[in-house]
């Protein structure tokens, strides 16, 4: 296919037809506003930010502006013009190379919007329907009773177990072990059940986007990397962007990535993936701003497609998910905010548009502890200034001080009735802690707790022999936790060898000084903490639920976490 980058929109539509709509986004009007040449700058761009605004953005990143640590690059566009771009920190600590505006980063899940738009274009071309059964294109997936649609893959409502979690349980070491698309497809097609009926819930699943990449290849005859290059990156002049389908490929300007080393300093932390769709896009802040500008400068023929990309999916009951085509649609401080984050190994990324103000920000980092979402919004707050509503401050009644007996009534181990996650509540002095976080009481039976997604309201509801803890996180389903019975005094009955056909892996459960320990050649030995009768927790968020046969003997268990439910292990004779 020939791509006439500088042709007019009308000429491209005549030449290429209305179907490959994003090719029209390379029209002269777009290039006049946000050209690749304009995006290729030195340390700081020609800018319309005031001196105070530039200083304000720099202050947001000030703690990263050093020569002995990794850091971030930031790019800011306003009304389709690049207004600021700069690097802070080091791209490569071994070679003492600084991060600059053209430094190339692995942007992890920021990849998803490109994958989803590629599939949406194929639907516009008539190559597929978003409401097709996924097995039409990937027949090797098992039958799960209810069909999964292509659209549900895009919206994280498919119910498919997450590939990264499955691979970890199967023994892959992150980030050092090479993971290929074949590895992902082999483990995904072995899964005999879903987390939930398709469309009933929203649970983030990287698996869906790997399958979308496979669908692109099988319907277009091109790999996702080739398709995206032809339809997106080439026409838009995103010369430093590609889907990285070969982990050994040399990429000029690529940053290394790092995570903090225990005891101080840094260690290299770079993903080794030969799988993409859910991840593995390499890009720069400048290129990503070019891409984000397409959503604000789309010609008439592409408006509906890009509007659909920025429209929330819905569950079977009509509940919106606040997630579009690889884009999060959650307001920030009362304004529309559309973007996505990414996290793989030591790389972190966050891109976000504020379409009502024509502002877009891209922050790409090579430090695992960078927190690019807060940095991006800090920079956006500087640029938006008084246009950004002030943060809402909740009026709070004075904190209730429960009696000792009321505090003790909360103490116990609780398990989520759906995802099987564990909350341990304990009383420490005058405080009550839930998984280490302090509860702030409104009454003896109601409290709030702060977390990464904001504060949640919790209520304690005793009912006969059952005590229920209800949690109401903002924007998420109500979570119901039931207090668990005391664990058995001995772990001996759980000892044995257990095999999972779904993961093709065997765990040995052994007893060490009265504690149950999971042993695996690559995962090492991991102590399991009792979480009620026939339930144990492992690490940060994994629950093992044991089943017994008719004679009361332990016959197996399931592995459960936030993105994987019910993976089966059976006891070997």
User: pLDDT digit string (tens) for 65-106?
Assistant: 999 999 999 999 999 899 999 999 999 999 999 999 999 999
**For residues 308 and 210, what is the distance between their CA atoms, to the nearest angstrom?**
21
Region 531-540: what's the mean pLDDT?
94
Name the DSSP class of 367: B
Q: Per mean pLDDT, which range of 12-21, 103-112, 155-164, 426-435 is the poorest? A: 12-21
Angle at 490 between CA 487 and CA 491, to 5 degrees: 85
Q: For 312-317, what is the mean pLDDT?
A: 96
* Mean pLDDT within 324-344: 97
| pLDDT of res. 286 | 97
**557, pLDDT greater than 50:** yes
Q: Quick: pLDDT tens for 429-452.
A: 999 999 999 999 999 999 999 876
pLDDT per position as a tens digit, 210-229? 999 999 999 999 999 999 99
Inter-helix orientation angle 51-60/372-384, to 10°: 160
Question: Terminal CA-to-CA distance of the chain, rounded, Å?
Answer: 60
How far is it, in rounded angstroms, from Cα 396 to Cα 446?
A: 14
Report the distance separating Cα 89 and Cα 100, nearest Å.
Answer: 9
The residues that bridge with 72 in the sheet, in sequence order, are 88, 365
Beta-bridged to residue 268, according to DSSP, are 258
User: Can you tell me the mean pLDDT for 349-354?
Assistant: 98
Distance CA 529, CA 544 (A): 10
309: pLDDT confidence band, cut at 50, 70 and 90? very high
Q: With pLDDT > 90 as the criterion, what percentage of the chain qualifies?
A: 84
What does DSSP say about strands 72-78 and 359-365: parallel, antiparallel, or unpaired? antiparallel
> Can you list the alpha helix ranges (DSSP code H) found in 388-435?
404-410
Which pLDDT does position 394 carry in this prediction?
Answer: 61
E-state strands within 54-116: 72-78, 81-88, 90-92, 97-98, 105-106
- Strand pairing report for 359-365 and 524-530: unpaired
Encoded tokens for 152: 């549900």
Tell me, letter by letter, the H, E, C secondary structure of 281-347: EEECHHHHHHHHHHCCCCCHHHHHHHHHHCCCCECCCCCECCECCCCECCCECCECCEEEEEEECCE
β pairing state of 273-274 and 179-180:
parallel
The CA distance from 438 to 411, in Å, is: 13
- pTM here is 0.90
Q: Which of 166-180, 293-307, 490-504 has the lowest mean pLDDT?
A: 293-307
Q: How many residues does the chain have?
A: 573
Tell me the C-alpha distance between 437 and 92, whole Å: 37
Q: What is the largest CA-CA distance in the chain?
A: 77
CA distance 262 to 198: 41
Q: How confident is the model over 384-408, as a mean pLDDT?
A: 86
* H/E segment holding residue 180: strand 179-180
């Amino acid at each position: 296919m020939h791509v006439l980058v500088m042709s007019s929109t009308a000429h491209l539509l005549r030449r290429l037809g209305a179907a490959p709509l994003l090719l029209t986004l390379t029209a002269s009007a777009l290039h006049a506003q946000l050209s690749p040449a304009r995006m290729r700058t030195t340390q700081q761009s020609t800018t319309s930010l005031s001196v105070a605004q530039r200083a304000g953005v720099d202050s947001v990143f000030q703690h990263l502006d050093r020569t002995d640590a990794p850091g971030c690059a930031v790019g800011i566009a306003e009304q389709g013009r690049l207004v600021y771009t700069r690097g802070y920190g080091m791209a490569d600590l071994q070679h003492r190379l600084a991060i600059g505006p053209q430094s190339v980063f692995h942007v992890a899940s920021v990849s998803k919007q490109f994958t989803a738009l590629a599939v949406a274009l194929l639907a516009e071309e008539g190559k597929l329907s978003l409401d097709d059964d996924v097995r039409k294109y990937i027949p090797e997936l098992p039958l799960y009773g209810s069909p999964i649609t292509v659209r549900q893959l895009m919206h994280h409502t498919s119910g498919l177990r997450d590939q990264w979690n499955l691979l970890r349980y199967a023994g892959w070491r992150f980030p050092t072990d090479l993971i290929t698309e074949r590895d992902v497809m082999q483990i995904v097609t072995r899964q005999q059940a879903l987390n939930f009926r398709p469309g009933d819930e929203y649970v983030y699943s990287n698996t869906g986007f790997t399958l979308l990449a496979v669908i692109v290849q099988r319907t277009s005859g091109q790999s996702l990397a080739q398709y995206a290059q032809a339809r997106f990156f080439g026409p838009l002049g995103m010369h430093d962007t590609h889907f990285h389908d070969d982990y050994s490929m040399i990429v000029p300007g690529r940053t290394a990535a790092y995570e903090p080393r225990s005891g101080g300093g840094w260690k290299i932390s770079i993903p080794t993936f030969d799988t993409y769709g859910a991840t593995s896009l390499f890009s720069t802040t400048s290129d990503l701003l070019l891409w984000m500008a397409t959503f604000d400068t789309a010609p008439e023929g592409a408006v509906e497609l890009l509007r659909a990309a920025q429209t929330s999916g819905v569950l079977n009951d009509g509940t919106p998910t606040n997630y579009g085509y690889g884009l999060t649609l959650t307001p920030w401080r009362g304004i529309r905010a559309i973007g996505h984050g990414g996290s793989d190994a030591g790389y972190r990324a966050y891109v976000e548009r504020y379409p009502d103000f024509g502002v877009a920000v891209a922050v790409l980092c090579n430090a695992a502890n960078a927190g690019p979402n807060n940095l991006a919004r800090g920079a956006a707050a500087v640029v938006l200034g008084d246009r950004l509503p002030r943060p809402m401050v909740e009026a709070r009644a004075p904190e209730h001080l429960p009696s000792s007996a009321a505090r003790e009534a909360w103490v116990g181990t609780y398990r989520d009735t759906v995802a099987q996650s564990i909350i341990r509540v304990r009383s420490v002095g005058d405080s009550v802690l839930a998984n280490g976080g302090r509860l702030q009481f409104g009454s003896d039976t109601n409290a709030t707790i702060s977390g990464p997604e904001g504060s949640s309201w919790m209520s304690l509801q005793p009912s006969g022999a059952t005590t229920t803890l209800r949690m109401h996180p903002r924007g998420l389903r109500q979570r119901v936790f039931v207090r668990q019975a005391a664990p058995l005094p001995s772990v001996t009955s759980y000892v044995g060898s257990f095999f999972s056909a779904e993961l093709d892996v065997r765990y040995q459960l052994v007893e060490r000084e009265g504690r149950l320990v999971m042993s695996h050649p690559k995962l090492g030995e991991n102590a399991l903490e009792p979480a009620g009768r026939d339930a144990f927790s492992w690490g940060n968020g994994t629950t093992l639920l044991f089943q017994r046969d008719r004679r009361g003997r332990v016959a197996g268990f399931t592995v459960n976490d936030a993105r994987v439910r019910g993976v089966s292990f059976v006891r070997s004779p």
